[in-house]
Amino acid sequence: MVNKLTTDMSLTGNGLRDWLVQRFSSLIIGIYFIVLSMFFFTHPTLNYLDLQNFFASKSMQIFTLITLISVFLHAWVGVWTVITDYVKPITLRLIIQVLAILALAIYFFWGITILWKLT
């Protein structure tokens, strides 16, 4: 029962796939950080209009959406791993995992709301 419960709350149900999801998502997050850094370095006199136009472009909105999904997946794999390793009582583990999922979902949908209201 405990083994089934542990793998059911996992993202993919497989440790290698979870590891790959986390590594791939971190790559996307890193590339996003580089793109934002390059934008800020190439616009030393940045104003609100420039920033709004940058994030209002469809390519940047899609890239930001992909990054938001990556952050959600990356965070869930990390939180799930830590909770599974350190919280042993099953009911407490489930409560913490449900709260983590709710928080991540709220942040994800909040980010989407902010992102698509730019246009």
Q: How far is CA 10 from CA 71, 79, 87, in A?
A: 16, 10, 15
Give the torsion sign (CA, 65, 70, 76, 79): negative
Single pTM value for the model = 0.82
* Number of domains present in the structure of the chain: 1
The pLDDT tens digits for 19-78 are 899 999 999 999 999 999 999 999 989 899 999 899 989 999 999 999 999 999 999 999
- CATH number, domain with residue 94: 1.20.1300.10
Is residue 22 within 8 A of residue 78, CB to CB? The reply is yes
Q: How far apart are alpha carbons 34 and 39 in whole angstroms?
A: 9
14: left (phi over 0), alpha (psi -120 to 50) or beta: beta
Range of the domain at 80: 2-116
| 76-86 pLDDT tens trace | 999 999 999 99
